[in-house]
Amino acid sequence: MAAGSSRPPVGQQGRIGDVGITTIHDCVLHDTAARWFPDYDREMIRPHEHWLSPYHLDAETGAFEMPVHSFLVQTGRHNILVDTCVGNDKDRPMIDEMHGLSTGYLDRLREAGLRPEDIDYVMCTHLHIDHVGWNTRLLDGRWVPTFPNATYIFSRTEYEAARAEANLPDMFPAVRNAFEDSVRPILDAGKVELVDGIHEMLDGFTLRPAPGHSPGHVRIELRSRGETGVFAGDLIHNPVQVPLWQLSTVACWDQEMAAATRRDLLAFCADENALLLPGHFRPPFVGRVRERSGNFTIDFGW
């Protein structure tokens, strides 16, 4: 699987009611199922190989790609980015695929017809390294908000947990750096709105607590003209976790809670016929979840 092979076409990918959604690509990460999912067993995926392998997860090697992208949401009144990827020029020791990048993310935003100044809101599902990077950019040696006219929406629980984690003396340097270069400067600039609990916002958005992957992770629900979509962040990383929702990752704060939250997400999407928009699926990036006798499947596409 070649790096960059998951780069999407530029342009609107689909709609939820009257709202347009465009994927803005940043980079691609690579991993293996045996490392990423502690409870993974080769036999688990045999019933699913026919649709998983090799595109979503190679059954023989366990290798898979995780594209990193934002969802640009255009409601007609506001331009909103959901999650902001890895970012350029970030110091991420020991994580080669995230360290010191120089990607065309802002060029792809411009190809979608917008400048950074045109973004009204940035909503972060959580504050992990690969979801906050483009919150800031390096300008004259300082980290400044990339989207100067935007309000950045963070879960208060997630912010407080990320701040505490960054201050731990033995914390992984890349995690501390991400807070210092991609979260703290937004606070210092007075651009952050911290939200609590179930938070209803403009244009049909609802932020709903979905802890497990991180303490304050939220899922972002969007409703328009009778249609629903759910921006899921890292509640689910790979399609293998649709039928095998019990599989949590090494990056999860609480693996058991993460699995329960993922099952709730999948059940909601199936019950509501809601479009699932995860943070790291390969093209076509999204899908509709179906449930039969307690088993989940996914139909990819809009």
DSSP letters along the chain, please? --TTTTPPPSSEEEEETTEEEEEEEEEEEEEEHHHH-TT--GGGGGGGHHHHTTTTS-TTT-EEEEEEEEEEEE-SS-EEEE---S-SS---TT-TTTTT----HHHHHHHTT--GGG--EEE-S---GGGTGGGEEEETTEEEESSTTPEEEEEHHHHHHHHHHHT-TT--HHHHHHHHHHTHHHHHTT-EEEE-SSEE-GGGEEEEE--SSSTT-EEEEEEETTEEEEEEETS--SGGGTTTTT---TT-SSHHHHHHHHHHHHHHHHHHTPEEEESSPPTT--EEEEEETTEEEEEE--
Helix axes 156-166, 173-182, angle to 10 degrees: 130
Sign of torsion over alpha carbons 256, 286, 221, 32? positive
Q: Tell me what pLDDT residue 11 has.
A: 52
109 CB-near residues (< 8 Å, 6+ apart) = 24, 72, 115, 116
Does this model's pTM top 0.75? yes
pLDDT, tens only, 87-139: 999 999 999 999 999 999 999 999 999 999 999 999 999 999 999 999 999 99
In this structure, the strands spanning 136-139 and 121-123 are: unpaired
Distance, in Å, from the CA atom of 83 to the CA atom of 67, rounded to the nearest integer, reads 13
| The pLDDT of residue 294 | 86
Question: In the prediction, which pLDDT does 222 show?
Answer: 99
For residue 9, pLDDT beyond 70: no
Residue 302 has pLDDT above 50, yes or no: yes
Average pLDDT, the chain: 95
In CATH, 12-300 is 3.40.630.180: no
**pLDDT tens figures, 165-220:** 999 998 999 999 999 999 999 999 999 999 999 999 999 999 999 999 999 999 99
pLDDT for 10 beyond 90: no
Residue 223 sits at φ, ψ, to 5 deg, of -125, 135
| Residue where the block lists tokens 């939200």 | 195
Calculate mean pLDDT across residues 35-58: 96
- CA separation for the pair 57, 51 (Å, rounded): 9
pLDDT in tens, 103-112: 999 999 999 9
Judge whether residue 1 has pLDDT over 70: no
pLDDT at 58 over 80: yes
Residues 6+ apart with CB under 8 A from 139: none
Cβ atoms within 10 Å of 283's Cβ, excluding its own:
17
- CA neighbor of 86 nearest in space, from 110, 104, 63, 111: 104
Tens of pLDDT, residue by residue over 240-285, are 999 999 999 999 999 999 999 999 999 999 999 999 999 999 999 9
Quickly state the pLDDT bin for 8 (edges 50, 70, 90).
Answer: low
> Is residue 6 over pLDDT 70?
no
Residue 127: the pLDDT is 99
Which of the two residues, 217 and 10, has the higher pLDDT score?
217
Q: What is the model's pLDDT at position 13?
A: 83
DSSP-derived secondary structure for 159-177: HHHHHHHHT-TT--HHHHH
Residue 5 has pLDDT above 90, yes or no: no
Question: Which pLDDT value is given to residue 296?
Answer: 98
